Chains A and B, each alone.
Chain A
Amino acid sequence: MTMTRPSPRCRKLLRELSRYLDGELTPTRRRVIERHIKACACCGMMTARLRMTVAACRAVGQRRPPRAVMSRAADRIRTLLARP
Chain B
Amino acid sequence: MKQRMVTKRGGDREPSTASVHDDYPGLVRSAAAGDTEALNRLLMRAQETAWRFSMSVCGRSDDAEDAMQEALIKTYRYVGRIRDPGAFRPWLYRTVRNACLMSRRKRAGEPARLQSLDEVLPGSDGRMHQDTPHPGKDPEQLAENAGLRRRLRKALGALPGPYRAIVFLREMEGLSTREVAKIMKMSEDNVKTRLHRARVQLQAGLEGPK
Contacts and interface: CB of A to CB of B under 8 A. Distances in A.
Interface residues of A, number: 35
Contacts of A82: 2, 4
B92 interface: no
B149 to A, nearest CB: 6
Contact of A60 (B76, B121, B192): B121
Contact of B40 (A52, A62, A72, A77): A77
A57 B44 contact: no
Interface in B67-107: 68-69, 72-73, 76
Interface of A: 15, 17-19, 22, 24, 49-50, 52-54, 56-58, 60-67, 69-70, 72-74, 76-78, 80-84
B152 interface: yes
Contacts, number: 117
Given A49-B203, A61-B171, A70-B17, A77 B51 contact: no
A64 B124 CA distance: 9
A83 B2 CA distance: 6
B69 A63 contact: no
Contact of A73 (B20, B44, B55, B172): B44
B2 A57 contact: no
Interface of B: 2-5, 14-15, 17, 20, 39-40, 43-44, 47-48, 51-52, 55, 64-65, 68-69, 72-73, 76, 121-122, 126-128, 148-149, 152-153, 167-168, 171-174, 177, 192, 195-196, 199-200, 202-203, 206-207
Nearest to B148: A56
Residue among A54, A63, A74 having the largest count of chain B Cβ atoms under 10 Å: A63
B14 A58 contact: no
Given A56-B152, A61-B173, A80-B72, A15 B196 contact: yes
Given A73-B48, A76-B47, A77-B5, 10 more contacts: A15-B196, A49-B203, A50-B199, A54-B199, A57-B199, A65-B55, A65-B122, A65-B126, A69-B65, A77-B72
